[in-house]
Amino acid sequence: MVISSSNSFSKRNSDVLEINSSRKINLKRFTQNGQIQIYHSLYRGSYSSIIRDCLRNAALGRKVLLVQFMKGGVKQGIANPVKLCGNLTWVRSSHSFDQYNREEIEDNQKLKHSIHESTSELWNFCKQELLSGESDQIILDEIFLAIDMNIIEKHDLISTLENRFISGDVILTGTDIPKDLLLMANQITELR
């Protein structure tokens, strides 16, 4: 007998689940990951519908993680997440790309290093979340811009997505989407 995975299963033995009853049955578990959904737009800032949906999911009792890679600012970052609806954790970069224009970042190596470091820290946090199975839905907003800026390696994202343990969906948003990731997606939506 086979059952699908869920976040409520025992973590002590990930291969076999014991059911307490008069007749003991060992069930073999297989991992069932949610879908990879990609939302593509020609311009930035068009993902308000995704934020609306993650708020609704959190209000319905699902544990949701929303990570915005390119937005952020003072007193933000993984140390200061915003908690909403009891189930939504909203994390932004502690030193974001959106606070400055591209020329300003390119001309100032210290600023560029700080933005890259805070975005990398955020990505490492996301990797742990994707591999832990703690969240029911994870949204990685504008992750493709972080790849385009060479802050996050495309192959690292692909490997993490292939090895993820989440029963819900992983939603990726951005403007320039690498073809490798398009091939992994279960659903691609173009926002106009």
Q: Where are the alpha helices (DSSP H) in 15-153?
A: 48-59, 102-107, 109-132, 143-148
Q: What is the pLDDT of residues 110-134, one digit of tens each?
A: 877 888 888 899 999 999 999 888 8
Q: What is the pLDDT of residues 28-71, one digit of tens each?
A: 444 556 899 998 887 666 667 888 888 899 999 999 999 988 88
Mean pLDDT calculated for residue range 160-168? 84
Q: Specify the pLDDT at position 117.
A: 87
Q: Specify the pLDDT at position 31.
A: 52
The whole-angstrom separation of Cα 4 and Cα 12 is 17
124-135: b (≥16 Cβ within 10 Å) or e: ebbbebbeebeb
Domain 33-191: what homologous superfamily?
Answer: P-loop containing nucleotide triphosphate hydrolases (3.40.50.300)
pLDDT band per the 50, 70, 90 thresholds, residue 15: very low
DSSP state, residue 43: S
Q: Is pLDDT at 11 greater than 70 in this prediction? A: no
Q: Where are the domains of the chain?
A: 1-32, 33-191
Q: Specify the pLDDT at position 154.
A: 93
Q: Specify the pLDDT at position 111.
A: 76
Q: Which of 20-24, 128-132, 147-151 has the lowest mean pLDDT?
A: 20-24
Q: Is pLDDT at 23 greater than 60 in this prediction? A: no
% pLDDT > 90, the chain: 29
pLDDT band per the 50, 70, 90 thresholds, residue 14: very low
